Amino acid sequence: MAGGAAVNRGPHTGSGSEAAVSDLSGPQRKSLLSNLDFGELVRLNLPPATGVDEYALFDKDDALAVHGSQPSFTRSFDPDVVRKLIDLFTALNAPAVSTADAGLDSITINDTKYTVSGPRGGQHPLELATLHSDKHVFFVTNTATLLVIVQAAPGADVKQKTNEKEGLWAAVRSFTFALTEKGL
């Protein structure tokens, strides 16, 4: 089969399927999301050595958690906070708008003010935003259907660039890519 014409692009190949899950009806989406083994994806892509302290995955449709490291961490992001973060990504993906121009250089989550940094190197669309506070550092990213929040572990939870923080940044990007490859 010259040129790969017989390749059926779809969810089973991991190619060209990103919009597939987002195009499903609500019940179909929930069914698919509930059947995925997010724990295995996390184990393979976000091992403890990468600097992950906690993580949570949220459905962008209803802003509810679909998976997380700890229920207490997942519950700390109510649907209004998740929607605020989704809106932040929507605004930051406008290439002509800087975070400062859009008034998006900070965000308050659960009474804690975070400084927003990203995209790195002026990349568009935004792949990853970093939220810094005195208490925590969060890496936030999204796919077509999910919002991903990762809290940095001690050593990677600093404002300045470090090897630990760079390693976590790369792991979160890899994890997001793995989710996208699953059609999410």
pLDDT-based confidence at residue 60 (cuts at 50, 70, 90): very high
pLDDT band at 71; cut points 50, 70, 90: very high
128 and 173 in contact (C-beta within 8 Å)?
A: yes
Report the percentage of the chain scoring pLDDT > 90.
Answer: 22
Structural domain boundaries in the chain: 51-181
- At 4 the pLDDT is 41
Q: Helix (H, G, I), strand (E, B), or coil: what is residue 76?
A: coil
pLDDT of residue 20: 58
CA 68 to chain CA centroid, Å, is: 12
> 152, 97 in Cβ contact below 8 A?
no
- The DSSP letter of residue 77 is S
Residue 46 has a pLDDT of 82
Fold of 51-181: Beta-Lactamase (3.30.450)
Q: Phi first, then psi: what are they for 137, rounded to 5°? A: -125, 125
Q: Report the predicted TM-score, pTM, of the whole model to 2 decimal places.
A: 0.78
Summarize the confidence of residues 104-112 as an average pLDDT: 84
